[in-house]
Structure 1
Amino acid sequence: MGVCSVCNGLRKFEINCDNCNELLEEKGRYMDYFDDYSPYMPIDQMKLEDGIPDDYKNRQCPHLYRCSSCGTDRVILISE
């Protein structure tokens, strides 16, 4: 099992919005938003069900980033 540097607070990414160029805010793991119990499920199991091809195989952790200015959401894959 890999370690996600964003989940563990080891690294921050500064990513700008494609629409308005404002800085996106990191909102946590993408799959934690699926339902009420998603944050409590095993991470590797959720990667198999999140609809993102190869994130499990490539050891990537999908994170949701949101623009507070225009509301755009973007999923960024963080290498573990």
Structure 2
Amino acid sequence: MTYVCPLCNCLTASSPNCPKCSQPMVDQGRLMDTFDDYSPYLDIEGMKKADGYPEDSYDHQCPHIFLCLSCGEQVTQLIDEMIMA
């Protein structure tokens, strides 16, 4: 089975509300892509071993950063990956 992140692959959109001001937040992409200039080009499953979320690989989740454009609050949210046939 192959698992894919619906946000990374533009299959769905997500805009959670900001915990501070309740405004919609904007997806800033995968957490692991922010580590350094080469992170977006490295193996996703390998990067999950160093992203600070020890169970995201086993639970098939993709950590995404969301930013509130109103107040500047930034949160990381685990997005459930989908099974692709």
- What TM-score results when the alignment is normalised by the length of structure 2? 0.89
Unaligned 5+ runs, structure 2:
none
Q: For residue 29 of structure 1, report the CA deviation from its aligned partner.
A: 0.6
Aligned residue for 2:18, secondary structure, equals coil
Which of the pair has the greater relative contact order for Cα pairs under 8 Å at 6+ separation?
2
Unaligned 5+ runs, structure 1:
none
The CA distance in 1 between the partners of 2:66 and 2:55, in whole Å, is 20
The CA distance in 2 between the partners of 1:73 and 1:5, in whole Å, is 20
Equivalent residues in 2 for 1:24-35, closer than 5 Å: 24-35=25-36
**Other-structure match for 2:63:** 62
Q: Deviations over 1:6-27 (max 9, x none)?
A: 1110101120000011110001
**Other-structure match for 2:52:** 51
**Other-structure match for 1:9:** 10
Q: For residue 52 of structure 1, report the CA deviation from its aligned partner.
A: 1.0
CA RMSD across the alignment: 0.8
**Other-structure match for 2:23:** 22
Q: Percent identity?
A: 46
Q: For residue 53 of structure 1, report the CA deviation from its aligned partner.
A: 2.4
- What TM-score results when the alignment is normalised by the length of structure 1? 0.95
**Other-structure match for 2:41:** 40
Which amino acid in 2 is paired with 1:17? C
